[in-house]
Amino acid sequence: MSLSDLLNPASVAVFGASQNPEKIGGRPIRFMKEHGFRGRIYPINPARESVQDLTCYPDLDALPEVPTVAIIAVAKERVMDTLRLCAERGVKGCVVMASGFGEVDEAGRADEAEMREISARTGMRIVGPNSQGLANFNSGAILSFSTMFVEEPPTPGPIACISQSGAMSVVPYGMLRQRGIPVGHCHATGNDADVTVSELAAEVVLDPEVKLCILYLETLRDPENLALAARRAKERGVPIIALKSGRSPDGQRAAASHTGAIATEDRVIDAFLERHGIWRAEGTEALVHAAELYLQGWQPKGRRMAVVSNSGATCVLTADAVDRYGLELAQFTAETEEQVRQVLPDFAASRNPVDITAALLSDSGLFGKVLPRVGEDAGVDILMIGIPVSGKGYDFERFAQDTADFVAAYGKPVVLAAPQVSVRAAFARHGIPSFETEDGAVRALAQFVDHLAMMARAAGGVPLRGGLCDGGATLDEFASLDRVAAKGVKVPLRMICQTEEEAQDFLARCPGGVVLKANSPAIPHKSEHGLVRVGLRTPQEVSRHFDEIAAKVAELDVPFEGVLAAEMLGGGRELVVGGHLDPIFGPVVVIGDGGVAVEAMPDNRLLLPPFSEGEVESALAGLRIGPLFRGVRGAKPLNARAVYEAARGVAELLVDGGAVSVDINPLIATSEGATAADALLEVRR
């Protein structure tokens, strides 16, 4: 069933309805009456004739109709019976507020399983339990008991906040409201026994009023729903910002004790969100920081920023912030510079950043003279106005009007940085997003520009399923390289030698020499046991090292399964390409710097299959060793295509090749190609 009925019900029944508008069973009724709910409200309470001036009913069957949705504000003990009854009568959705279910004990988890069963069988969707409720201020359907809507009264608006946690649904709501920004949705789904945050988000982004969706996630069990939400959001041009907590090990432990979240390597979440164009916020403030910019309908053409300020210090600080947040300082054309120079005093700076100086005090029209010149310059995509000092003698109403005229004429995004509340208020009246500092203003602009670009390039797609991530059987190196080679990855010439003679014969086929290694899946870390001997060029060397390896294997009490001889590879850079199955997100591929650095000095990126060659190229470019793929000090660039092919091979092994983990380390990369010098596979038993 669609969740639309939960957001826009024609009628709402309230089990446990209370006359007291401060009680859990009373507050939703009060909110709906106060905030324009246009449907019918049916309080249910056998002890009362009326509730908050509405007719009160003794039970569900006494209502004049089957309600679209029901708020279940009764004690925990009566929740399951009430749900069963609602499902039987054809109610389309319920919100369960009581806590004490899956978050507490096994009996609670069994109840939640039954909720899912009821939903699957009857189509009645259940929000909660342990839910603070859903609040759609755009329809007035406020099925929520949050006190925050008393503290910071709601008004319909373009932002939706969705969270499991009650606190983290109303915290961004409250912060936005304190900044004067309207919020249209504020939902807290609780334990997500049936309806999840992600599924609800996929419904909410369809609301034509919604222009920005803010999510707080502690668990992410249904990436397919979040991917659906992202797809719909992209179609509608609605950006999604998500705060996924539990990034740190301590945070994961705290989340596990809070919600029983399953641990997924956090960087997999990064990769998933990026792929679906969802911006990941690092903290609560970052959820709301740039919100206003998303509401303007701006489509920045690029990241080249102009700065106009009445303070040279602000110009310098803003240039630093532009660098810090990865924007670019626009370069004016000679014509623009000349025109700016003509309207400014001699000692002012006409280049970007433009310091119009304290001359603003004697000519309040300076912004109005400079801004059109900046607007006309095709090399300027975005603008920051900085007014660090103002007050008496400064006509900041006029500055705000001149800035608003710039926006109207050129459609280029503009933000203000001004520490004084009075200045910000004037610009806010003209709809210009305002920040206390240049750092905050530039950070917001950078997020906005980067997020829209990320959405535009988001590959999206339906996520692969999670799967088995341990318990596989380890293959030996020879077999592992066979599997890798079967997927088109280049591997060295090699053979398993049972005798010294075989190894010496093999040497004859390898003009560059050979490497000998113990061949046993029981010894995954061969080099730490001294079981890898490289650069052997004579039959004598081969013979001696063969003997030593065999003796060492015997010493380790591992069955001798021969010695792997392989041709020596020429020079190249040691990379790593590998992957594993994540329990939630399925196949995950890693590419990066290899050799000794892999664990101690990690430099790698994760990719979610299927990925394109372009995605691999940009992941490689983003590595610390990225310059090696562009060529360093006259050396030829490493071959990115060969790394892509290896990564694609690893992905295929994980997606349908029976592998649960793959580790090619090192993959020796040169400008010509890349060869797997060692590989280790775990496969499904």
Find the binding residues for its own copies in span 153-212 (CB under 8 A). 163, 165-168, 170-171, 174-175, 178
Q: How far apart (Å, rounded) are the C-alpha atoms in residues 501 and 521?
A: 24
| Interface with its own copies in residues 392-421 (CB under 8 A) | 392-393, 419-421
Instruction: Kindly state the DSSP code that residue 295 receives in the 8-state scheme.
Output: G
Q: How many CB atoms sit inside 10 A of residue 411's CB?
A: 14
Closer CB to its own copies, 316 or 453, in the complex: 316
Using rule CB under 8 A, residue 22 touches its own copies: yes
- For position 297 contacting its own copies by CB under 8 A, the verdict is no
Return the amino acid letter for 529: H
Instruction: Find the shortest distance in angstroms from Cβ 92 to its own copies.
Output: 29
Q: At its nearest, how many Å lie between its own copies and the CB of residue 244?
A: 10
247 contributes a contact to its own copies by CB under 8 A: yes
By CB under 8 A, residue 218 contacts its own copies:
yes
Specify the residue for token string 């905050």.
440
> Where does 39-83 show beta strands of DSSP type E?
40-44, 50-51, 54-55, 69-72
CB of 499 to its own copies, least distance (A): 31
Return all residues near 506 (Cβ < 8 A) that are at least 6 apart. Answer: 495, 497, 514, 565
> What separation, in Å, do the N-terminal and C-terminal C-alpha atoms of the chain show?
39
What DSSP string describes 97-139?
----STTT-HHHHHHHHHHHHHHHHH--EEE-SS--EEEETTT
Binding flag, residue 362, its own copies (CB under 8 A): no
Does the protein bind its own copies through residue 431 (CB under 8 A)? Answer: no
Cα–Cα dist 673/641, whole Å: 8
CB of 372 to its own copies, least distance (A): 23
Radius of gyration of the chain (CA): 32
- Where is 309: in which H helix or E strand? strand 304-309
Binder of its own copies out of 2, 554, 635, 641 (CB under 8 A): 635
With respect to its own copies, which residue has the nearer C-beta, 320 or 501?
Answer: 320
Closer residue to its own copies, CB minimum distance, 236 or 258: 258
Residue 391 interacting with its own copies (CB under 8 A): yes
Interface map 588-607 toward its own copies (x if CB under 8 A): --------x--xxx------
Residue 534 phi, psi dihedral angles, 5° rounding? -110, 160
> Whole-number minimum distance, CB 224 to its own copies, in Å?
24
Residue length of the chain: 685
Write down the residue that tokens 């003794």 correspond to.
58
In the list 389, 404, 453, 479, the residue contacting its own copies (rule: CB under 8 A) is 389
How far apart CA 308 and CA 335 sit, in angstroms, is 17
230 binds its own copies (CB under 8 A): no
Using rule CB under 8 A, residue 540 touches its own copies: no
Per CB under 8 A, 270 contacts its own copies: no
We find the least distance from the C-beta atom of residue 314 to its own copies, in angstroms, to be 6
| Residue 362 C-beta: closest distance to its own copies, Å | 13
The continuous run of DSSP H or E covering 573 comes out as strand 573-582
Under the criterion CB under 8 A, does residue 262 sit at the interface with its own copies?
A: no
As a whole number of angstroms, the distance between CA 208 and CA 4 comes to 13
Verify binding: residue 4, its own copies, rule CB under 8 A.
Answer: no
Q: Can you tell me which of 4, 284, 364, 671 binds its own copies, judged by CB under 8 A?
A: 284
The closest of 80, 29, 85 to 62, measured between CA atoms, is 85
Q: Which of 454, 417, 74 is nearest to 242 (CA)?
A: 454
* CA separation for the pair 648, 667 (Å, rounded): 14
What whole-number distance in Å separates Cα of residue 265 and Cα of residue 593?
A: 19
Nearer to its own copies, 404 or 625 (CB): 625
Residues in region 80-109 near its own copies by CB under 8 A? 100, 103-104
Instruction: By CB under 8 A, name the one of 70, 71, 238, 322 that touches its own copies.
Output: 322
> CA-to-CA distance for 37 and 67, rounded, in angstroms?
14
145 class by beta-carbon count within 10 Å (0-12 exposed, 13-18 middle, 19+ buried): buried
Question: Does position 50 bind its own copies by CB under 8 A?
Answer: no
Which residue from 10, 54, 263, 316 is in contact with its own copies, where contact means CB under 8 A?
316
- Using the rule CB under 8 A, give the single segment among 6-14, 41-49, 250-258, 467-475 that binds its own copies: 250-258
| Residue 333 C-beta: closest distance to its own copies, Å | 18
Does position 359 bind its own copies by CB under 8 A? Answer: no
Nearest-5° angle of CA 291, CA 292, CA 298? 110
Q: Which of residues 485-514 bind its own copies (CB under 8 A)?
A: none
Amino acid letter for position 377: D
Shorter beta-carbon distance to its own copies: residue 286 or 485: 286
Nearer residue to its own copies within complex by CB, 248 or 342: 248
